[in-house]
Chains A and B, each alone.
Chain A
Amino acid sequence: MMTEEILRVENLRTTFTTSAGEVKAVEGVSFTVNRGEVLGIAGESGSGKSATMLSIMGLLGDAGRISYDSLSFMGENLTPESVKSIRGDKIAMIFQDPMTSLNPVLSVGYQLEEALRRHKWQGNIHGRVAEMMTRVGIVPADERMRQYPHEFSGGQRQRLMIAMSILCSPELLIADEPTTALDVTVQAQILGLLREIRKDTGMSMILITHDLGVIAGESDRVIVMYGGRIMEEGTSREIFGSPSHPYTRGLLHSLPKADGKRERLIPIEGQPPDLLNPPEGCPFVKRCNEAMRICLRRKPEALTLSETHKYSCWKGAEESC
């Protein structure tokens, strides 16, 4: 299969100005997404996963500033202006908390139809909304369109968000913790639904989640973030089969054994870095059990293990020279 790149991000930086100082939420993140693939993004809370996506989508608000070397979608440069016209249309996003993304005082049908009108949908708006609601299993669609968000369960609201996001047949869906608030059985339904939609439409997806099980089950490629940077990147098999960054390895060791063997867990000791005062060198240095003196002072460069597998760590750099 030919890989066709649809999103390219190079050297993205995002800074928030807060009363306590500058927060460097994203520090030089680069990645690509290919057509039809699922890129999973894992990482500690506060590692910059959401900030990266909001930066790309131009949704940061006033507090954030971004810079980058290049940002393009389907071969066109993305500017704050151009992204507005494709947002919700060619690139759609689902947020972690569906309650904050649906207006409680408007019927869900109205809200979905409004989304289509905003994107100047040519065709039967009501019919399209009904079709997509049926697609995500909210039936009978005609009746349920008249209901308000509080009349739906958490899982149903998340399915409504999915219906809304795929209304305009996007090329890329960015799903930020789409199932974190849900039970595993409902999570399995939602992930299954997203998988079917991808199969039908060839849509690409960026899936952000802290659940490594979900990442393993859904992703073709995986990015592992820590302290605003990409620590490791590879195919799902590379990341889970031969994790190379000490943080990735630490994360996988923290999990209970899948075969139920009751071996003591091996946690990553310490706390995530304070982004107001980030370490000068590797962001992981304070918690890394393989850290060397150079890790404190200088940021490691990315090391290449295969065409798809890269990681940023001094350990490997020392060994290879």
Chain B
Amino acid sequence: MLTVEGLTKYFHTQSGTVHSVDGVSLTVSRGETLGLVGESGCGKTTTGRTIIRLYEPDKGCIIFDGHDITHMNQRELLPFRKRIQMIFQDPYASLNPRMTAGDIIREPMIVHHVPKDEHTDRVNHLLKLVGLNTEQAGRYPHEFSGGQRQRIGIARALAAEPEMIICDEPISALDVSIQAQIVNMLEDLQKSLGLTYLFIAHDLSMVRHISTRVAVMYLGSIVEIAGSDELYTNPLHPYTVSLLSSVPIPDPEKSSQRKIIPLKGEIPSAINPPSGCKFHTRCPNAKPECKTITQILQDKGNNHLCACPFV
């Protein structure tokens, strides 16, 4: 469904060039969920935004359903904009405060020329689909809770009838009890509408739950991709190993038994990322060669790709 090859996005700022996304390659098959995890600032949002061409890629290509959309102009892009939608990270900032929930959900229908007489029915249908009621269509974003706002964002993404949705931290801002509601809803929608997801998140246990495969990102590059259970039970890259060991376990007994493998130092700046394997400055297994190797994902068997040549 989606193939991204060597995707690169740099931002030129006053303090220097930020290597936000640096040669990211990944594929997402139709109907699956690819999880994308990694520390704050590693480039997850930028990857998502570049894939849907909100940012212009500097290098690499984006193939959606067999079409190379990397260099398409806005007009050529329009049909693809309809087919891939994004749910944005912040449910508070991503909804226009002066528009009602109904208008927010209606907007993509106008952009994508859905016949006007169908709008109201479809808005009502979408509201019900995401667990809101139709009377709430006239209310403004501030009159909804965080979880409800996230549902409006999802309804807006669904309004264009997309085939794929890039979900950027759709649950991070929500209470635990509400997170499960949204995750179940995303799973139900995937089943009933045949959706494909790229699911970006911090919460590694939720990512395991929802994803078919998971990609781990560090400083703009993907260091490991594998099937969800394979990655969590058999992590190979030293960064993934450390990351997974740090995930809190909601069980006091198990929590006291496991061993956290701490990362030394701080995450380096994306303005001057380390040479070779970008993780070498913090890697517990680093060797002198790590400073000069080229980071490429290698298949270690079982469709398990890892960028560290020494595992």
Chain A residues at the B interface, C-beta cutoff of 8 Å: 44-45, 153-156, 183-189, 192, 210-217, 219, 236-237, 240-241, 250-258, 260, 262, 264-269, 271-272, 287
Contact = CB atoms under 8 A, between A and B. Distances in A.
Main secondary structure of the interface of B (DSSP, over half): helix
Contact of A240 (B242, B248, B251): B251
B96 interface: no
A289 to B, nearest CB: 12
Taking residues whose C-beta sits less than 8 angstroms from the other chain, chain B's interface range is 35 or more
B39 A188 contact: no
12 contacts: A153-B266, A156-B266, A211-B248, A215-B250, A216-B248, A251-B177, A252-B250, A256-B206, A258-B251, A265-B209, A267-B184, A271-B145
Contacts of B256: 217
B204 interface: yes
A287 B180 CA distance: 14
B181 interface: yes
B99 interface: no
A150 to B, nearest CB: 12
Contacts of A154: 40
Interface string B242-279: 11011111111111100010110011000000000000
A254 B176 contact: yes
Given A210-B176, A260-B233, 12 more contacts: A154-B40, A184-B247, A187-B246, A188-B245, A189-B263, A210-B175, A216-B248, A216-B250, A217-B256, A237-B252, A257-B209, A265-B184
Contact of A44 (B175, B184, B247): B175
B199 to A, nearest CB: 13
A213 B249 contact: yes
Given A153-B266, A254-B179, A267-B180, A184 B204 contact: yes
Contacts of B65: none
Given A217-B255, A260-B233, A266-B180, A185 B148 contact: no
A153 B39 CA distance: 13
B229 A213 contact: no
Interface in B211-264: 228-229, 232-233, 242-243, 245-256, 260, 262-263
A14 to B, nearest CB: 21
Contacts of B255: 213, 216-217
B205 A258 contact: yes
B73 to A, nearest CB: 38
B176 A255 contact: yes
